[in-house]
Structure 1
Amino acid sequence: MSESAGQVQTAGRLWQEHRQAPFPDSLRRAKFEATDVWLLDLYTAGCVLAWLNNDGTLDAENERILLSCIEDLDRAIPEIKDPAGAQYLQRLHQLAVLVSKNLASTR
């Protein structure tokens, strides 16, 4: 299996885990800077889903959004005190980074 195929397979597995996980109550009203954390989840997940549905590609706008979400998650995760909330966002971050690395390898 190629590295790219392995990344797609890992991303698919992480996506299924993320979809099955309930959104933690501790994140429902949480804000990071001026952004609701649930919006950060929504934007990141939307980009990942677009990547999965488009054979590992994203348009320029979704790529920009994904990279911005990764930066926000990098800064937000250390601020989350609830272990379940932090774990939820860490998985989302791992998934987003995996997708972004795959984008970088296809350019």
Structure 2
Amino acid sequence: MSGPHHDERLSRLWEEHMRAPFPAGFRGVDFDGIDLILLDADVAGLVQWELEDGLDDDGVAVLWTCITRLDTILPLIGEDYCTAYYARLRLMAGDVAARYTPSAI
């Protein structure tokens, strides 16, 4: 396992996310069978794990699943704040994933 990875943008996005309230009216909502609260919790946990210790292979696999789910739900939300909230999660997930993607891709 690698040591903690610190990235100014990821840290800033994480701080913003921690201050942002969960989108009102979207508790218990799912799109295409994807529960928004669980997706939020999964991505937040992975970002926190990355910032503290760095992900292991299982964490990276879960991260890619979360990215697929974010890409599925983002076009379906249709509410500005909720879309921005999940777009920030997608940015963070993408920043983390980029660290585990070979540069040739």
| TM-score interval (norm. to shorter) | 0.7 to 0.9
How big is the shift at 1:29? 2.3
Identity of aligned residues (%): 33
User: Are the equivalent residues in 2 in contact too, given 1:26–1:85 (CA < 8 A)?
Assistant: no
- Structure 1 segments of 4+ aligned residues over 6 angstroms from their partners: none
Which of the numbers 59, 80, 84 marks the counterpart of 1:83?
A: 80
Cα separation, 1, equivalents of 2:26 and 2:98: 27
Unpaired stretches in structure 1, ≥5 consecutive residues: none
Cα separation, 2, equivalents of 1:35 and 1:82: 17
Q: Which residue of 1 aligns with 2:67?
A: 70
Q: Which residue of 2 aligns with 1:24?
A: 23
- Taking only aligned residues, the RMSD between alpha carbons, in angstroms, comes to 1.7
Per-residue Cα deviation, 1:16-68 (whole angstroms, up to 9, x for no partner): 000000000132121022231100010111111000001xx211111111111
Where is the helix percentage greater, Structure 1 or Structure 2?
A: 1
Amino acid at match of 2:27: R
Per-residue Cα deviation, 1:59-85 (whole angstroms, up to 9, x for no partner): 111111111101110110000011110
Amino acid at match of 1:94: L
User: Are the equivalent residues in 2 in contact too, given 1:47–1:62 (CA < 8 A)?
Assistant: yes
Cα separation, 1, equivalents of 2:26 and 2:56: 29
User: Are the equivalent residues in 2 in contact too, given 1:47–1:66 (CA < 8 A)?
Assistant: yes
User: Are the equivalent residues in 2 in contact too, given 1:29–1:36 (CA < 8 A)?
Assistant: yes
TM-score by length of 1: 0.85
